[in-house]
Amino acid sequence: MAWVNENDLSKAPPVYWLTGLAGLGKTTIAYSICERLDNDQRPFASYFCSLQLDSGDPKRLVPTLCRELARLYKSYAASVLPILETNPKIADAGLSIQINQLLAKPWQASVVQRKGSDIPTPIIVVDALDECDRGIDFLAELLRVIRASQLVGIKFLVTSRSDPKFFDICKSFPLNAVCKLHEVDIADVQNDIKKYLQEALPELKDDPELLLLSQRAGGLFIYAATAVKFISPSHTSHSVSEMRFHLRGMLNPGLLTSHAESDERLLVDELYERILGVAFQSDQVRDTRLRILHTIVCAQSKTGISVLADLADTDEDTVERVVESLHAVLFVSPKDGYVYWYHASFPDFVLSGTRAKISLSLDGRLLKFDASCHKHAHHSVLAQLSFSIMHKLLHFNMCNLPSSYTFDSDVPGLKASIDSTFSPTLKYVSSHWAEHLARAVPAENDNDVLLCSLKDFLDNDLLFWIEAMNLIDAKTKCFPLLRNAESWLKRVRVPTITFKMIFKKLFLGREMPA
């Protein structure tokens, strides 16, 4: 908070970078700072990036911050409004244009209008830039306009994981503009974790094993937070003896066996390993439950129970049971009914390919299985399923419109017709099939199932799909999705010139590599 409260830029640089490994509490700190600013009635704006939310879309970042600034400063709102009226599509422009035209230019104009007035410096908090598709580009563009003195009077707090790309761009930051959480005194962190555990589990606050758990966390707040959800799940009540049983079980050194690939494993992995081991200990249902989990972590947008059931080829009750059994790492939001994970380190664990090898002693037996998701293979499955669903359900004139000469907006009852025609699953596969395809295993020969499905889709279902995308208000995604499909095609090891000619026609004759 010293940086927040310091107005002398020589003592408090305009950009502060908070960094650290996954699970060290960066987002918690960002939230806490926002709460402090709000309580102190200090002007601030915030943006929390997330891979599983729309906030991971880089085009939303700058417009959202600009909206918050307009709410805080009438002079800025008056300066940015004419720009939006002149160019309403600027919100969909690239980061450089957005930062120049929506942020820097109107801010400079508003500063001139406020000259002489004593207005507190606004703090802009941008959390988890590594979870934004172009987070590094945003930071580079932000630093560019700041160094050009085009954002004088604004301070930015940005957080990210310890990614080499962020280190490279921030290496010139002065020492008082960087906080590396992994270098903070571990004793101080453990003391904070101990306090957190005592407050989160008041029934066990005097239990000496709670102190051992705080030490086991090794400075990872996500370890402690996940342990609390496992010991005392919010969706059901547990007696103190049951909570103590789970606590002691987590501290039992004999539960986890050694792992050959231990160099790649993180401290929180042992906790995730136990959670998955307990949830998937039954051999009879393990494959189905793992398929559901892998679908959750591979989904390209937030999804509900019904969509997950269709994508995992199972029923909704089974999906609900899996999510409930993983209550320490997954939850269903009461606001929208979608399934979310609490922390990005969990899908990282499942998708690593090596870390999620379950090997532990449970109820007197050795439990060993591979819970990792082979993401390229699973994306192949989801892409193929998407083609099958679209081929089955898409057709000409999906909503039985009476005439092609009438604007959709003038068709009475069209929204109700769209809602009844397009199930959540059909909307999902129509909007994300190409994203799964781009991440799928490349085809090896002309008979590859996915390759044949793509060709069939382009030959027979493409126009139906474009009509569907227009109806569900997603027509602007058509070209980017076809670009995703093209990116997969470039990796296909099949010399089929005829097939590639199809894509050349779609892209107006633009040359493609052989």
| Integer CA distances (angstroms), 79 to 381, 456, 484, in order | 50, 51, 37
What is the DSSP secondary structure assignment for residue 121, as one 8-state letter?
P
Exposure class string for 413-435: b at 16+ Cβ within 10 A, else e:
ebeebbeeebeebbbbbbbbbbb
The predicted structure's pLDDT at residue 186: 79
- Other C-beta atoms closer than 10 Å to the C-beta of 336 total 9
How much is the pLDDT for 490?
84
* Residue 407, number of CB atoms within 10 A of its CB: 7
Q: What does the pLDDT look like over 167-200, one tens digit per residue?
A: 898 888 888 888 888 788 878 888 899 999 999 9
Q: Following DSSP, what letter does each residue of 487-506 receive, concatenated?
A: HHHHH-----HHHHHHHHHH
Which pLDDT does position 508 carry in this prediction? 47
pLDDT for the residue numbered 482? 92
| Strands 123-127 vs 178-180: parallel, antiparallel or unpaired | unpaired
Class of domain 275-373: mainly alpha
Could you tell me which residues come within 8 angstroms of residue 463 by beta carbon, excluding any fewer than 6 positions away? none
What residues does 361 pair with on adjacent strands? 366
Cα–Cα nearest to 158, from 40, 266, 65: 65
pLDDT given at position 509: 45
Contact 502, 455 (CB under 8 A): yes
For position 113, what pLDDT does the model report?
81
Q: With beta carbons less than 8 A apart as the criterion, state whether 280 and 371 touch.
A: yes
Measuring CA to CA, how many Å separate 440 from each of 235, 253, 275, 492?
36, 39, 28, 10
At the top level of CATH, the class of 2-183 is alpha beta
Low-confidence stretches of the chain (pLDDT beneath 70): 9, 55-56, 116-118, 235, 253-265, 494-514
Asked if 496 contacts 452 with a C-beta cutoff of 8 angstroms, the reply is: no
Check if the beta carbon of residue 188 is closer than 8 Å to that of residue 58.
no
Burial of 150 per CB tally in 10 Å (0-12, 13-18, 19+): middle
Query: What contacts 434, CB < 8 A, 6 or more positions away?
Result: 481, 482, 483, 484, 485, 488
Helix or strand holding residue 429 (H, E):
helix 424-438
Burial of 142 (0-12, 13-18, 19+ CB in 10 A): buried
